[in-house]
Amino acid sequence: GAVVFFFNVADDIRGQDGVWRFDHDGLNLARSLRTPNRTALARTLSDLARPDIMSALGLISILVAWRSTRWRKEAILMAVTLGGGGAMIGFTKYRYARQRPNLIEALATEETFSFPSGHSFGALCFYGTLAYWWMKSRSSITERIIIALGALQFVAAIGASRVYLGVHYPSDVLAGYAAATPWLTACLIAYEKYEQDERLQD
């Protein structure tokens, strides 16, 4: 479903139809909500999923996987999720080459293309993986649901901050989530399979 949604949005942004009104209404709403305090909060949220930080975390994960046996499988999962995802999102940006919004003043400087949002993609992959590990450590269904909902709200806030700052259309953010969903799911399934194989060998 996420893959289908992504390509539907991609088709619409190429034809300049369908999502046009949604994108422009979203940016106008963001402009109307701007205050100094909200702008400071949006900048902070945006910084928590910066591509350079995500790349650095991916490199650190590779080093941990190389040097540590205790945390090797966790580090490999994070390295693959962030590294492979980063390469995929970079290729996709240049594939569609959508220019950044110019409807409202941008409150941040970005030099790459707009579609899809790398911040949204990276946030779902990174914080989704952290939430997955945290949920695995809890036996209570209620606690797991609270963790999942909290992570989703946090990731959604990061995506919203990108629209608020005027550097992404809302459809860029939604497409970033749609692209990240199957990628993160595949990585977590592979991780679960590896853990199952380890238990069988033991």
Say whether 24 is catalytic.
Answer: no
119 labelled catalytic: yes
Distance CA 155, CA 104 (A): 23
Three-class SS string for the chain? CHHHHHHHHHHHHHHCCCCHHHHHHHHHHHHHCCCHHHHHHHHHHHHCCCHHHHHHHHHHHHHHHHHCCCCHHHHHHHHHHHHHHHHHHHHHHHHHCCCCCCCCCCCCCCCCCCCCCHHHHHHHHHHHHHHHHHHHCCCCHHHHHHHHHHHHHHHHHHHHHHHHCCCCCHHHHHHHHHHHHHHHHHHHHHHHHHHHHHHHHC
Q: Which of 6, 168, 174, 176 is flagged as catalytic?
A: 168
Per annotation, catalytic residue among 98, 100, 119, 162: 119
Catalytically active residues, by annotation: 119, 168
